[in-house]
Amino acid sequence: MKVKDSDLIKTWMLEAGTDKPSENLKNEVLKQIEKSPLGYQPIISSYFWKIMGWFILVVIMYFQLESNEPLPTSSWFHSFYSGYKVDLNFNFLAGSSPSITYALIIFSMYLCLSPTLIQWWEKRLVS
Amino acid sequence: MGDDPDLALIKKIIKGDARAFGILIDRHQEFVYTIVFRILKTKEDAEEITQDVFIKIYKSLSTFKLESKFTTWLYTIAYRMAISRLRKQQVDLVLDWDGQQKIVFDDWAENPLHQLEKQDRINCIKEGINKLGPNEAVVLSLYYLKELKIKEIADITGINESNIKVHLHRGRKNLYLAMQHQKHLQ
């Protein structure tokens, strides 16, 4: 094969161009990906796990505080904080009215959850 | 790769925009189909594998490194899936021959004379390309149609650069001979 034939091959290749698939290829693909989620998607979302965690925490705190009695020093709650040598006295919560206690719990819960909720709204707005 | 035109689309797809994936398919389906078809030589198989390529791309898009070139990744997947199907077909063909002594040559037994009577010049060239080996056809397509460098083709196919040059040379030579042969037949 001569050198000049290389240009001829290029001309042929460009002339032949690409092959066209059937028109419904795209629709077929889109139909199939509708059935299958993008990448790994957990059955229970991370948001749900966080909400569940906070809910469990609220329930535990509720049972700790509902008796309106001073927290026993032997409770796990007390021992956990005393382990870190932080002198936290939660008895003020037990002495206060239940509505203030719940409001404080819910407020702290949403305060901690707010970055997650912001992320969630951002994602919804983008999509 | 900040100037990769597919990057914005990919980001949208990762966020769940299926329409963006439709645009991506529109953009690349012809060349992906071309690569696959030039390896497998049959429309049905090429169509099926092209679909599978895009589904695989969609599913593993979250693993795609945004700093790399999307087309290189896409063509690599297309090439590997087509080659894998070709190998499977070759195994099936051997098994079929050994076991039942029956091979359907529908895709192979095209009468060249009959074809040439009704096909135009472009179809003649495509016929010539079809007669090339899978690697020769793919290397020629990537080199001339996408104007990729030898190194990029080597990255896509996983074949080393010196062998790419061999495939390129053989591809040119065989296409030339195929065209000469068709010219004689005409």
Predicted confidence (pLDDT) per residue in B128-167, tens digit: 898 899 999 999 999 999 999 999 999 999 999 999 999 9
Crossing angle of helices B70-99 and B18-40, rounded to 10°: 50
Q: Which residues of B touch A19 (CB under 8 A)?
A: 30, 33-34, 37-38, 46, 126
Scanning chain A, the segments in alpha helix (DSSP H) are: 5-16, 25-35, 46-65, 76-83, 91-95, 98-126
Q: For residue A33, which of B45, B79, B50, B54 has the smallest C-alpha distance?
A: B54
Give B67→chain A minimum CA distance, Å.
19
Angle between helix axes A5-16 and B161-185 (nearest 10 degrees) is 80
Q: Give CA–CA dist A16/B137, Å, rounded.
A: 12
Mean residue pLDDT of chain B comes to 82
Percent of chain B whose predicted confidence (pLDDT) is above 90:
51
Share of chain B above pLDDT 70, in %: 80
Residue pLDDT, tens place only, B89-133: 877 655 544 444 333 334 444 555 444 444 567 888 888 898 899
- pLDDT value, residue B40: 92
Whether the Cβ atoms of residue A1 and residue B175 lie closer than 8 Å to each other: no
Chain B CB contacts of A10 below 8 Å: 144
A5, A16, A25: residue with CB nearest B51: A25
User: Rounded to the nearest 5°, which phi and psi values hold at B65?
Assistant: -80, 120
The Cα A57–Cα A105 span in angstroms is 9
Grade residue B17 by pLDDT with cuts at 50, 70 and 90. confident
Q: What is the pLDDT of residue A34?
A: 79
pLDDT value of position B97: 45
Are A4 and B172 contacting, i.e. CB atoms less than 8 angstroms apart?
A: no
CA B114, CA A9: separation in Å to the nearest integer? 24
Mutation target among B32, B38, B59 for the A interface, most CBs of A within 10 A: B59
Give me the pLDDT at residue A6, please: 72
Kindly determine whether residue A19 and residue B21, on different chains, have CB atoms separated by under 8 Å. Answer: no
Chain B CB within 8 Å of residue A31 CB = no
Q: B174 to chain A: nearest residue by CA?
A: A1
Task: Please list the pLDDT of chain A residue by residue as tens digits (127 residues).
Answer: 554 567 888 888 888 888 889 888 988 888 888 776 554 455 556 667 777 777 787 777 777 666 555 555 666 666 665 555 445 555 555 555 666 667 777 777 777 777 777 766 766 665 4
Mean pLDDT, rounded, for B65-86:
90
Cβ contact A126–B15 (<8 Å):
yes
- Size of the A and B interface in Cβ pairs below 8 Å: 105
Q: Say which of A10, A12, A18 has its CB closest to residue B30.
A: A18
pLDDT at B123: 82
**Interface confidence (ipTM) of the complex:** 0.75
pLDDT for position B127: 86
Query: Quick one: pLDDT at residue B33?
Result: 95
B141, closest residue in chain A (CA to CA): A13
Which of A23, A125, A127, A25 lies closest to B18, judged by CA?
A: A127
pLDDT of B104 reads: 38
B49 has a pLDDT exceeding 90 = yes
Question: Which one of A1, A4, A10, A13 makes the best mutation probe of the B interface by having the most chain B beta carbons within 10 Å?
Answer: A13
Q: Do A8 and B176 touch (CB under 8 A)?
A: yes
